[in-house]
Structure 1
Amino acid sequence: MTTTSQRPGTSRPPRAFTRRLAAAGLPAGRPSVAPVTEDDLTGLPPAAVRYLRAMGVVGRPRTWSLQAHLSGRFRLGASGRWMPCDAWQYDTAQEVARLYRMRLLLAGALPMWGWDTYRSGTGRMIGKALGVITVADGEGPRFDEGELVTWLADAVLLAPAMLLHPRTRWEERGNDLAVSVTDAGRTVSAQVLLDDDGRPRELRTEDRWADLPGGPVRAPWTTTVDAWTVVDGRPRMTGGSASWHLPEGELRYAEMRLLRLDLDVPPTR
């Protein structure tokens, strides 16, 4: 197990999260302990090599899972009030899978829980107030695509060694990257804008759908990194924001801080 906590010992996942994670039956061990070498980067575009080196991938085993704790604020639309939120997520690389649980406080008092999941090529989103009243429920091809590209974003920003797999394709775009991943017969992609040190400063994709009053609309989606720090000898983002880019302008709907990041932990932890 590799623990890269930014605030050690200050956060534990809620029982609802750990129970669902344990019940998911995800792979529970590292497929190989062999470290990533320079030979593993042979044939990749120079920008990809620069990014992977900058992120501290070389010389370490390939990451097979990540668990993260985030906290910040979230809103449901441009006119919506910002709500406090707390989120836990778990991603795996042997099998492309993602479980994300977010807790919101509506009107500062009413709790709402939302789950975003991706497993076996299927994406799902469900939200419940007070744990019993369904306020959001979505599945189908749009969610399959959106949850898969969100897994890709997680890997790019939090665990880049998860991308060293035949399902990943890299393309150089000047000093930046285009990265795509294929799972269950579906391919999604994102553009990764790199800073002067080779670390991501922004991720952009059009493989997500915004839930608008008139119905779902495919729209550009970005995650912007606030800053980077170094934990256990490799870069870790401190937090970031997520935005939709709509015809009427940018809608920033989430601002989050990364409180804790653990790599290579089993799903029963």
Structure 2
Amino acid sequence: MRHLCTFIALSLLLSITLFGQSENAVISDADIARLPIPVQRYLRYTKTIGKPFVTWVELTQSGQMKLKPDAEWIPLHAKQWYRVPEVAFEWQGWVKAAPLFHVRATDFYDNGVGSLKIRLWGFIPLGTAEGSEVSEGELMRYLSEIIWFPPAMLGENIAWEAVNDTLARATITDGGLEVSGDFHFDPDGRLTAFTAIRYADMGDGEFRLADWYAPVSEYADFNGWYLPSKGSAVWLFEEGDYEYIRLKIESISLK
């Protein structure tokens, strides 16, 4: 909760600071001209042209999570907040691990530092993951999720490379960290997946680099934005694929 209060306070301050500069600013074709063609198509597909630049994003999610490759799927609901163009987010997800055991997971990233904290009933600590591998992983997560707030694709902290007509590679730099990932599109500009090589937490403090795949399956209208509404995330381990989360966006607000 302390993280969240500080996060919201800083976000409001940033929004107030930037408001006078961007009050009347909307995204134009000229703004996106420097981006790779498939990214330009995506910005048009999501109806971003003519929309304002954003500094704050809030969304709610429902879905399922699998805690281990051989575990059963369990229900999940979550809320998430982002700051833009400053790179920061907090995600709070709730799962019912057993009839009387409700667990809250908090993913956090701000200024080059990321963490994952697990608490029983929201306040009894069960575990924490921190360190350089976690921070890089959380920055990668932010990069993969800018699909929900497309104006962030115009950020000066993201360098784009056109790989081909339906694939663009992005490198994001923040807080002394740098990660890269690939955005996959169809010919109409619809994003179909994000892929990257990312650190996987294998438990007991062990991390290893592995292929990470986040496909998008559906889109929906959110107050005039046409954005991905369903997707999942999969670790592509040598010993087999591990799909660990399936999400549906219930609501999203871009301000």
Query: Structure 1-normalised TM-score?
Result: 0.85
Kindly report which structure 2 residues correspond to 1:178-257, keeping only aligned pairs within 5 A, or say none: 178-206=169-197, 208-213=198-203, 215-257=206-248
Task: Give the drift of 1:36.
Answer: 1.1
Q: Secondary structure at the match of 1:219?
A: strand
CA distances 1:67-124 after superposition (whole Å, capped 9, x unpaired): 1100111011111221111110001113211000011111344100111000121001
Rate the CA distance shift 1:131–1:47 in 2: closer, same or farther, 3 A: closer
Q: Secondary structure at the match of 1:166?
A: coil
Match of 1:23 in 2: 6
Rate the CA distance shift 1:44–1:117 in 2: closer, same or farther, 3 A: same
Rate the CA distance shift 1:44–1:23 in 2: closer, same or farther, 3 A: closer
Kindly report which structure 2 residues correspond to 1:72-221, keeping only aligned pairs within 5 A, or say none: 72-155=63-146, 157-174=147-164, 175-206=166-197, 208-213=198-203, 215-221=206-212
Task: Give the drift of 1:20.
Answer: 4.7
Task: Give the drift of 1:132.
Answer: 4.2
- Cα RMSD for the two superposed structures: 1.7
Distance 1:172 1:35 in 2: 25
Distance 1:205 1:108 in 2: 36
- The aligned amino acid for 2:141 is T
Match of 1:267 in 2: none
Worse-matched range after superposition: 225-234 or 106-115:
225-234
Rate the CA distance shift 1:249–1:37 in 2: closer, same or farther, 3 A: same
Kindly report which structure 2 residues correspond to 1:36-75, keeping only aligned pairs within 5 A, or say none: 36-75=27-66
The 8 Å contact of residues 85 and 155 in structure 2, kept in 1 or not, is answered as no
Distance 2:85 2:159 in 1: 17
Worse-matched range after superposition: 255-264 or 191-200:
191-200
The 8 Å contact of residues 148 and 188 in structure 1, kept in 2 or not, is answered as yes
The 8 Å contact of residues 42 and 190 in structure 2, kept in 1 or not, is answered as yes
The 8 Å contact of residues 76 and 95 in structure 2, kept in 1 or not, is answered as yes
CA distances 1:28-78 after superposition (whole Å, capped 9, x unpaired): 226213111121123322222222222222111112121110011101111
Q: Secondary structure at the match of 1:162?
A: helix
Higher relative contact order (CA 8 A, sep 6+): 1
Rate the CA distance shift 1:20–1:61 in 2: closer, same or farther, 3 A: same
The number of residues matched between the two structures is 245
Q: Secondary structure at the match of 1:52?
A: helix
Query: Structure 2-normalised TM-score?
Result: 0.90
Give 5+ residue unaligned stretches, structure 1: 1-15, 265-269
- The aligned amino acid for 2:91 is Y
The 8 Å contact of residues 229 and 238 in structure 1, kept in 2 or not, is answered as yes
Give percent identity, aligned residues only: 27
Q: Secondary structure at the match of 1:27?
A: helix
Write out the 4+ residue segments of structure 1 that deviate beyond 4 Å after TM superposition: none
Distance 1:62 1:26 in 2: 18
CA distances 1:168-199 after superposition (whole Å, capped 9, x unpaired): 11111212111121111211111111123202
Give 5+ residue unaligned stretches, structure 2: none
**Whose strand fraction is larger, Structure 1's or Structure 2's?**
2
- The aligned amino acid for 1:256 is L
